Amino acid sequence: MYSASYKKHRLKFRFVAGTSRGTMTERDTYFIYLSKKDNNKIIGTGEISPLFGLSIDFLPNLESIIIDVCKRIEKASIKSLSDIFALIPDSLPAVRFGFETAFLDLENNGKRIIYKNDFSLNQKPIPINGLVWMGDFEFMQSQLEEKLEQGFSCIKLKIGAINFEKECKLLESIRKRFDENKITIRVDANGAFPANEALKKLEVLSNYAIHSIEQPIMANQWYEMRRLCAETPLPIALDEELIPLVNLEDKKQMLDYIKPQFLIFKPTLLGGLQKTAEWIELCKERNIDWWITSALESNIGLNAISQFVANYNPTLPQGLGTGKLYHNNIESSLEIENGEIFSRRGDKI
């Protein structure tokens, strides 16, 4: 028998975090605690942290749902992770991720070890990109300089909120200083481009030796996205496109129809680590490359996602550099140096 509980925590951003969907100054997250009733000193911790405007389970009654799942777990006969999943529908991806990672942590004695690998045990680093948030030109320029000073060789810029010409000016300023062999540039439009303008904008962006663009148009426009992926002068990475797809056959159909160059996975939005592994297997079958990013979780969720990524020994930079976003993040052993994240373990995460 298991005990299950939760705690709500409001994360506060260090700055106004902007995307094409709007800005954020704070966000709520929920920490999940699981233990066995015959040994409540060992506690597994997970995180439920759905994103406004993206997560299908960003719901006004989310806290009531979490309470209900906790009660069901305490009444059920839990023997494996599949028993946990049986209590949580696919329509609650962030909830599944939170309880999944809490269970895996508990299975490894509640030491914030979700997977035993070279990242979690031996401080092997994972390459990551440095993220430049949307804002006015000066704000984005200052973030860019900060990331370069910190030693990042892969920079991701969120675009689509300010004037496109100004965003191109920023990209041009990078390329005047560094060619693509020195600095890799990724851009993320978060679906901001109108479908009938997207190809022209991609042609302009291709002048700056862009590695890839995430979700240039809004999701659920399969015909338009298929055409873009076929005609684009730079690789396209699908992100939001994946979120509504729960059924395995629907995932296969989307990939085989659109034929994207890359996929980007956010486990909190996709139903957890096991569901993300399912996506990765589909990519392997189709020779589609991928990387994983956090969905702005606290260090609890970021730690779990980082350990999951490490199972695949990634060479592409991942999107795991979000630990410094908040004034009041959870204390952690996760550290970033020269464009890599690693876990300097001790008594912390």
Q: Which residues have a catalytic role annotated?
A: 158, 266
**Tokens for 287?**
């020779």
Strand partners, 132: 157
Secondary structure of 8-52 as H, E, C letters: EEEEEEEEEEEECCEEEEEEEEEEEEEEECCEEEEEEEEEECCCC
Other beta carbons within 10 Å of 75: 11
Q: What is the DSSP letter of 234?
A: S
Roughly what angle, to the nearest 10 degrees, separates helices 164-177 and 137-149? 30
CA distance 42 to 232: 52
**CA 14 to CA 17: how far, in whole Å?**
8
Dist. CA 56–CA 32, nearest whole Å? 19
Q: What single-letter DSSP state applies at residue 22?
A: E
Closest CA to 302 of 314, 293, 311: 293
Are 168 and 205 spatial neighbours (Cβ–Cβ below 8 Å)?
yes
C-alpha to C-alpha distance for 229 and 258, rounded to whole angstroms: 7
Q: Distance of CA 133 to CAs 141, 142, 273, Å?
A: 10, 10, 26
The two three-digit tokens of residue 200, written as one number:
């022209």
Residue at 145: amino acid letter? E
